[in-house]
Amino acid sequence: MPQGGAVSSDVSPVNRAWIAGLILVICLGLDQGTKVIASRTLSFEPWSYCGDTFRLQLAYNTGAFLGMAGQLSAETRFWLLTVLNGAFLVALAYFLVRYWKMAIGRFVACAGILAGGIGNLIDRATNDGQVTDFMNIGLGPVRSGIFNVADMAITGGALLLAWYWWREEQPASAGR
């Protein structure tokens, strides 16, 4: 097993293509399917479950994470959240193909970020620049923002990448 972030060639390019394809199909299918169901069945009033730990509540987000940039003009949001985001996703897809031998965990993390980004980009392109959000979790007054499956894929991928980075830094800082 490779140490830290060492190059891992134990998974062939064909198998990595299958892994990336499965992640994309599953994430995009779940994301787009749940957004359709949420749009058709939920209201803007929350449905509370498990002692208000989990809520389902329809929201259309014109901004990015937690509504950031939502107050900007429609044209600025289009360039930032659709065009720039689309360019980032193309670059990420290129990165996955170009550096396919990266550690498999990193590869899965990047594929998850790509899938989530595409899911939200589809929304922006087909829903007048808005993303459909519908889930919220929390305990008492401490709550997450309203999010969707694509956001979960992006967050999960980012956390996995952060874990890899942190794991690689441990041996270097232990010797200081």
Just list the catalytic residues. Answer: 133, 151
User: Residue 58 contacts by C-beta under 8 Å, 6 or more apart in sequence?
Assistant: 38, 39, 42, 43, 44, 132, 133, 134
SS3 61: strand
- Sign, Cα dihedral of 39, 40, 44, 48: negative
- Cross-strand partners of 47: 56
